[in-house]
Amino acid sequence: MFFLGTQKVNAQGHLEIGGCDCVELARKFGTPLYVLDEALIRRNCRDYRAAFERRYPHVEIIYATKACLTTALCRIMQQEGLSLDTASAGELFTALKAEFPAEKIYLHGNFKSTRELEMALSARVGRIVVDSELELEQLNALAARRGQVADILLRVTPAVDPHTHEYIQTGKVDTKFGLGIGTGAAMQGVKRALSLKHLRLHGFHSHIGSQILDVHFFEMGAELLVAFIKAVAEATGFEAKELNVGGGLGIKYVSEHKPPTKEEFAEALVGAVKRACAKYRVALPKLMLEPGRSIIGDAGITLYTVGPIKDINGVRTYVSVDGGLSDNPRPALYQARYSLILANRPLDDEKQVVTVVGKHCESDMLFENVTLPKLQPGDILAVQSTGAYNFSMSSNYNRFPRPAVVLVHDGRAELIVRRQTLEDLIAQDIIPERLR
Ligand code: LLP
């Protein structure tokens, strides 16, 4: 067991987060419940900025909203001086509705719809990160029609293989994303971009993968990107002023994970960029990063209520909780592992090994073979590090309403997303006239 951020055991012997008792949170807001530790989110933002701004002349930290996005979170990111990476009309709409400054919004995606590109142009977002030659042509045509020049980065793939889970690798050769450097597609894309009158190319973007715990992969990526900047300058005369190296820094889900600190990450990445720029005699570009998980992942917990416990003698003990696949698809999708705390008796020392399962109509394993105090129905379980890619990947499978999201800070607990109601679940359903 380990504690993160403001978590501790309080005088009642309960798990506390952001000065709020988790048992109380469960009682007040119901379970399953996503809880976000505002102080830790802010600290992660500040640690990123401090670590990079101290080492590099011009840095922009861009929060990857796919990790977790609500309008309140946009406000926090704005207050902390971060920009936003959006990857869909929905994410962009959320940011704009929260009145986030458009010039600090990035739009990503390997297949941006015309509507998404129009939205980005009309809001005048800071940069559109173009992913393909087709998109170069489409965006140029749309911008021309509007009498605009679109500010773009070109997404390139440097072929780094960070050995994370196969589904979350995005930077290697065999990827749907971006234009390959090794294949010549990236150079061709640059030439095309430079020839189009309604596009203004500022530099390059690359994202090599996610939950990366070894900074070496970022160093390799940086070196390849700077080499590409040099090759482009020689071939076309275009000197890239901006280099966006994506996100990907891993976090601690289980005790064995030893993620690099933001300081260690900055030291390695900035070192690699500076060394490569010196080696290739390239002026230092503005450096952008797009962390998602390492901003919000460890700041979130999920609270569940324990239900039936089924002990199959000599086989295993199943503990059912009142959520599952719909609020956390990551164990099923990525074999992701998590650490758990018994929120109402965290320090109880009578231990047992159990398998925690969800309540969906299938064998939705959540956490296999975890060691916990002896459990009873009604206990409150807290799952660590669910801040990233849990709420954002949640679904209504089995028509489960999506859980609420509560922001905790200094003893205050405030809803930032209300729990869906049963009525919400049928709000978009339509019965055609002939079936009435
Ligand atoms: N920038 C781009 C272009 C990305 O594609 C991603 C994540 C990020 C930034 C942020 O990466 P992070 O710092 O969060 O690692 N659903 C998966 C994660 C997919 C990540 C996809 N791209 C999961 O639950 O593990």
Q: Write out pLDDT tens, residues 401-428.
A: 999 999 999 999 999 999 999 999 999 9
User: Domains in the chain, start-ordered, CATH in brackets?
Assistant: 8-36+300-425 (2.40.37.10), 108-291 (3.20.20.10)
Ligand 1 pocket check for 246: Cβ under 6 Å = yes
Distance CA 297, CA 386 (A): 6
Residues acting as catalytic residues: 361
pTM, two decimals, is: 0.97
Residue 374: phi and psi, rounded to 5, are -60, 125
Identify which of 150, 158, 169, 258 has the alpha carbon closest to the alpha carbon of residue 209: 169
Site to probe by mutation for ligand 1, drawn from 69, 207, 327 as the one with most ligand atoms within 8 Å of Cβ, is 207
Which residue has the CA at smallest separation from atom 16 of ligand 1?
Answer: 389
The residue ranking higher by pLDDT, 163 or 205, is 205
Q: What is the DSSP string of 138-174?
A: HHHHHHHHHT--EEEEEEEE------S-GGGB-SSSS
- Interval between CA 209 and ligand 1 midpoint (Å): 7
Q: Is residue 59 over pLDDT 60? A: yes
pLDDT at 267: 98
CA distances 342 to 245, 253, 376, Å, are 38, 16, 10
pLDDT at 166: 57
Site to probe by mutation for ligand 1, drawn from 63, 66, 155 as the one with most ligand atoms within 8 Å of Cβ, is 66
Q: Is residue 165 over pLDDT 90? A: no
pLDDT-derived band at 161 (thresholds 50, 70, 90) equals: confident
